[in-house]
Each structure stands twice: as structure tokens, then as C-alpha cells.
Amino acid sequence: MQVLVLGSGGREHALAWKIAQSPRVDAVLAAPGSAAIGEIAICHPGVSAGDTDAVVELARQQSVDLVVVGPEDPLAAGIADRLREAGIATFGPGRAAARLEGSKAFAKEFMRRHGIPTADYRDFDDLSAALAYVRELGRACVVKADGLAAGKGVAMCEDAAAAERALHEMMADRRFGDAGKRVVIEEWLIGEEASYYAISDGKRFVTLAPAQDHKRALDGDQGENTGGMGAYVPAPVVSQAVERKILDRIVTPVIEGMAADGHPYVGVLFVGLMVDAAGEPRVIEFNVRFGDPETQALMVQMEGDLVPLLLGAAQGELDPGAAVDTRDAAVCVVMASGGYPRSYQTGKPIVGLEAALADEHVVIFHAGTERGEDGDYITRGGRVIGVTARGTSVKEARDRAYTAVDKIEFEGAHSRRDIAARALER
């Protein structure tokens, strides 16, 4: 079979890498792909992941058997609906279900109706009203752009003054464009974050290993929110007891609730969680696609074939008893451009990739690179590469990842040095 992966980042590189290992797959295609993805897939750089007409035409021309949608924007725009209308099996939710990520206000209202635990909140489309609310609140809160902001439209505000600055940035200055026309202001949850994944065909689901992302730019969870500075699996904060609560109180009600609302959820449901000291999970946010950089760690950790899960979900024939073998651990450390998540320079030569890959347990996924004039890789984005390593324990995987990171250099390179520290402290 032929599988088309939409997207060009580190997540899509990891998915294409894993899909290409399947004995069921004859060829992996990518649109638009990247130079790095082109080492394992046939790229179509002229086809944007968000150009629905071009994607449908490409899938038809190439007799694609399965489309795997990587980024959230095309899903929110309804690309999965169009592909299915064209008779093409597609892994990813339709436009209506994708509102779980596309609108934080929608997701909050959905959780309220279905009794899913989350933070208390208010939403606003008027700046003056939002400012009055945070002043009245007078304490720490979280301000979120309602729409899609590439994982960066969240401000952790320790006091009213910080919340006011965030509101001005989002609603007045439009740092995140139209995504900030509406905002959600919610309570600041205390606990440990986790990422939980369930692959669903609209009725049934299969879960993957719990992961933990590191959103803040700096060590010790300081600095601004980013798209993710590193991740590891498994996350020990999700014990068997906590996982049971996640399944019973969150994942099952979401899948059943979406079906009851007339929008069966097909694809991967990514639940961003806060687990408090008592082991009680609450939803921070939903994503309607694989996370980045959690996917890099998940794909490296995962044994066996991912394709039957993707295809089974897309065709409505998921086997809920399918085993996902995840015996080992994996850690991904993101190397980013200096200045990320705000302004940064690109075009910086990257050296040391081959030396890092000398360890057979290390895989490097490219998030923001391209080939320079000499054919070597140069930086092209904020998050540049995800250095990912596998080990029999989180510590072993982490040590291997950082050993590899230390062999790679580019001007302004920045990475956190405490990825997976919470796991090692337990």
C-alpha cells in the first residue's frame, strides 16, 4: 500500500520514519515533506498540506491507500472530510470534531456538557471585559488564545499584571493573528503535566504509552511557552490508577460524547493533562493530531507496526485488542534556534549530525532544516531538530540523547538540559 503523510516538521518526519518500517507499506509519500523526510519518502514539495484540492488530486493521482494528516490547521479546515468524500481512507478527524483543538472555548463547553474534569474558566471576545475580569480575579491564571497558535498561544500569568499584558498581546496586538480574537481565561492548575494518546475509529480506541512534554523554553519550566522543548515516554506520573481515571473520566466520555453529538472522532486524540498530588487528572487541552515532540519519543519507543492502527481507525475497523508493544523508554531533546519562540535567525550550518548518529540507539528528526548550497543541512525554523534516543530506562535514553546533543552544533543553538528530570527524581 501507499501512505501519504501531510506535513513537513519533526512530527511528520517521525511518523514517516515509523510508517516506512511497516511490511504493509510499499511507499511513503509526503506533502510537502522536507529534505530530511525525502531520505525515507517521496516528497511533493509543491503540494502544501493545507491545499485541500491539491492534496486530494495528489492522493488520486498516486493511488494513495491512506492519508495521515500531521498538522492541526488542515484538520480544522476540513481536509479529512474532503478526502473521505473522495473515497480516500484518512487518519484524522473531520472539521466538526477538530474543533476540540481549533477552539478552546468549544472544547471547554464540550467538557462541561459531558462532565469531563478540567480547569474553571471564562471566555471573552471583548478586551475590556477580559481585562476587568483578570483585575477582579487578582491572582495567577492562564490566558489562552481560542484558536490555533502552533502550540504557543498560552500565557502562564502569575498575577493580574501579567494577564493584562498577555491579553493586550493576544487581543490588541494580535500576536497570534485571528486565533487571539477570542480568549479563554482559566484557573492555574497545580500538579504534573502528562500527554495521553488514544487512537480511535469513532467508536473504539487503542491507547499509547503516556508521555510528558516540556513546554516552557528554559530549564525548571521557566520562560515562555513553546511548541515543546522535549519529551519522554513512559511518564511515571501516569500510574495504573491514574490511567484508569483518564480512561473512565476523559477518553471514553470524549469518544462517546463526540459520537453522540454527531461527530464521530476518527484519528488520534491527544489529551494534555494536569495530574495533581492526589492523582486526580484534569484536562488542560485537547489536540486532534499527534503531538510534537512527544511523537518523536513515541515512535522510537514503539515496537511493532503502527500502520494497522492508523488504517483500522481510518476505515472504522480498529481492533480494540490490538497490542502496542512499548517495553522500553525514549527521550527527545529539541535543539532550537536562539531567540525561539520569538524572533530567531535561520540559515545556520549544522555540524555533528553524523557523529551523533553513530550511536545506533539515536534517531534525529528534523523539524526546521533544509539543505544549504553545499548540500549540508542548515537551520530553517525555530525548533530545528529533535534528538531522540531509546534505552531500557528513561535514564539510559536520556543520557544517550544528551550525549548526541553535545556532538551537534549550530550558531545560537539552545536546548533544555532537564528533559525527563521529573522521571529521574521519582
pLDDT tens column, 246-256: 999 999 999 99
C-alpha to C-alpha distance for 33 and 36, rounded to whole angstroms: 8
| Domain-wise residue ranges, the chain | 2-92, 126-181, 192-425
Which residue is listed with cell 479546515?
77
Q: What percent of the chain has pLDDT over 90?
A: 94
The predicted pLDDT at position 349 comes to 98
Helices and strands counted in the chain (H then E): 15, 22
Does residue 203 register a pLDDT over 90?
yes
C-alpha to C-alpha distance for 290 and 207, rounded to whole angstroms: 13
Confidence of residue 225 (pLDDT cuts 50, 70, 90): confident
Does residue 319 register a pLDDT over 90?
no
Per residue in 56-110, pLDDT tens?
A: 999 999 999 999 999 999 999 999 999 999 999 999 999 999 999 999 999 999 9
C-alpha to C-alpha distance for 311 and 67, rounded to whole angstroms: 9
Does residue 320 register a pLDDT over 90?
no
144-153, 298-307, 329-338: range with lowest mean pLDDT:
144-153
Average pLDDT score over residue span 393-415: 98
- Sequence-ordered list of residues with C-beta below 8 angstroms from that of 216, at least 6 positions apart, any chain: 156, 222, 223, 224, 225, 226, 229
Residue among 340, 355, 331 nearest 417 (CA): 331
Per residue in 39-51, pLDDT tens?
A: 999 999 999 999 9
- For Cα atoms 177, 182, 188, give the angle at the middle one, nearest 5 degrees: 110
The predicted pLDDT at position 298 comes to 96
CATH class of 126-181: alpha beta
The predicted pLDDT at position 324 comes to 72
CB 213 within 8 A of CB 293: yes
Q: Which residue intervals of 303-393 are DSSP H helices? A: 307-314, 353-356
Enter the CATH code of domain 192-425.
Answer: 3.30.470.20
Joined together, the cell numbers standing for residue 226 give: 513553546
C-alpha to C-alpha distance for 203 and 369, rounded to whole angstroms: 39
The predicted pLDDT at position 323 comes to 66
C-alpha to C-alpha distance for 165 and 42, rounded to whole angstroms: 45
Average pLDDT score over residue span 270-299: 96
CB atoms within 10 A of CB 26: 10
CB atoms within 10 A of CB 227: 24
The fold adopted by the segment(s) 2-92 is Rossmann fold (3.40.50)
C-alpha to C-alpha distance for 405 and 399, rounded to whole angstroms: 10
C-alpha to C-alpha distance for 220 and 235, rounded to whole angstroms: 17
- Phi, psi values for residue 223, rounded to 5°: 85, -175
The predicted pLDDT at position 181 comes to 93
